[in-house]
Amino acid sequence: MYDTEKHQASLLKQARKSIMFTTNRPDLVFVKGKGSYLWDATGKKYLDFIAGWAVCALGHSHPVISSTLKKQSRRLINPSPSFYNEPMIEFARQLTEVSCLDKVFFVSTGAEANEGAVKLARKYGRKHLNGAHEIITVWNSFHGRTLAMMAASGKQNFEPLFLPKPEGFIRVPFNDIKALKAKVSAKTCAIMLEPVLGEGGVHLQSPEYLLEVRELCTAHKIPLIFDEVQTGFGRTGTLFAYEQTGVEPDIMTLAKGIGNGFPLAALLAKDKFAVFEAGDQGGTYCGTPLATAVGLAVLTTIRDERILENVVKVGVYLEERLLRLKEQFPVIKEVRGIGLLYAIGLEQEIANDIAECCMERRLIVNSANPQTIRFMPALTIGKKEVDAMLTILKKVLKSI
Ligand SMILES: *Cc1c(COP(=O)(O)O)cnc(C)c1O
């Protein structure tokens, strides 16, 4: 008989030999996914509450993704970035229709979209703000892993890495308007924020704060950049998180959920701030028909399958259940979140242990930091999966 344990063990042996080390991974290899479930090479089934890292919004292996890839790959994959193509044009049209932004530039990753946003702001600064080039960002924020985005991110542990990093990023404390105002100067060309800090552990910026940031940007004639890489495409219950804040960004970046697992990201800007000139920005995979066809299919499916309604409904249920869990387990200090992006804050630094114990019981959750467990399931998830997740989490909390 075919020994799946042996097969997985040999895959792991080869992985240790030839996959470059960047992070500790559990001793398993995933081979299949469907909806909110993943299967490893031995056939074990896992309940997935990270969804490809807040990516597979429609669940794993949604048929619309494979049918779109099949159809578009037979027609045209990449005519080169120097030509227009049909899906690129149609997806950009729809994105500008459903958002407050006017122009779209497609890339492949969130970091790349954010780099584009920074370049756009600096270009605007050079053209219209006497060469202003500083970008203000927030401590505990995350904007990606290119050198410039590690410099822009507010993670303390990034600070000593890979020096020298690009300069011109000023960090301010989260949700603190006074601290922000103190840093805005003639050198500032943009303020860049996540409306909800995702990697930072799911912290919501207050609506009052965002309103004041908006006023500040307008008064100084600088663009407000929202990094909606994690919050965009339905994660918070509206297509974009900014819709719930009463504040419009001038520049916005999207990735993660936009491609449902296929590499796709976007930089969007209001007309006034779309100031690139020929040669300023580009890339081999900027708006391929294959990638943008997938994005278009994701957006259409979100609309057709009423995904946002599900996010709100199941999100409310998830919050209610997590609050109930908090009553039962004093180690849970707080429940934070919106839509289907939630976290529990812990009294002790046990998030890693909790996530590992959940994994042993075949539930995948994320320890965003030692005191935070984060949930970012597929947006198609039902109450049944929430209950199944909580049953396992309860057992784990009891055992710890
Ligand atoms: C994941 C993430 C990024 C980086 O996206 P990549 O596709 O990994 O480059 C940037 N900003 C936020 C808010 C993110 O959550």
The preferred substitution site among 226, 230, 260 for testing ligand 1, maximizing ligand atoms within 8 Å of CB, is: 230
For residues 383 and 1, what is the distance between their CA atoms, to the nearest angstrom? 38
**Residue 233 near residue 170 (C-beta atoms within 8 A):** no
Determine the distance separating the centroid of ligand 1 and the alpha carbon of 287, expressed in angstroms.
18
Give me the pLDDT at residue 247, please: 97
Which atom of ligand 1 is nearest the CA belonging to 114?
A: 10
In this predicted structure, what is the pLDDT of residue 201?
97
Question: Using a 6 Å cutoff on CB, does residue 385 contact ligand 1?
Answer: no
Nearest atom in ligand 1 to 149's CA = 10
Contact 115 CB / ligand 1 (< 6 Å): no
Predicted local confidence at residue 252, as pLDDT: 98
Distance of CA 10 from the midpoint of ligand 1 (Å): 32
What per-residue confidence (pLDDT) applies to 290? Answer: 98
Dist. CA 174–CA 137, nearest whole Å: 9
Give the β-pairing of 332-338 and 341-346. Answer: antiparallel
C-alpha closest to that of 368 among 252, 246, 198: 198
Q: Is 198 in the pocket of ligand 1 (CB under 6 A)?
A: yes
pLDDT (0 to 100) of residue 2? 83
At residue 1, the pLDDT reads 66
pLDDT value, residue 208: 97
pTM (two decimals) = 0.97
Q: Per DSSP, what are the bridge partners of residue 38?
A: 33, 46
CB 365 less than 6 A from any atom of ligand 1? no
CA 170–ligand 1 middle distance (angstroms): 19
d(CA 47, CA 39): 9
Give the CA radius of gyration of the chain: 21
Under 8 Å between Cβ of 45 and 4: no
Amino acid at 201: G
Q: How far apart are CA 247 and CA 204, in angstroms?
A: 14
Question: Tokens 């943008």, residue?
Answer: 292
pLDDT at 295: 98
The stretches in the chain having pLDDT less than 50 are none
- Provide the annotated active-site residues: 142, 227, 256
- The closest-lying atom of ligand 1 relative to the alpha carbon of residue 227 is 13
pLDDT number for residue 310: 98
- For ligand 1, whether the C-beta of 143 sits within 6 Å is yes
Name which of 317, 353, 349 is nearest 335 in CA terms: 317
Cβ contacts of 349 within 8 Å, gap of 6 or more: 370, 371
Which residues, including other chains, have CB under 8 Å from residue 326's CB and lie 6 or more apart?
332, 334, 335, 344
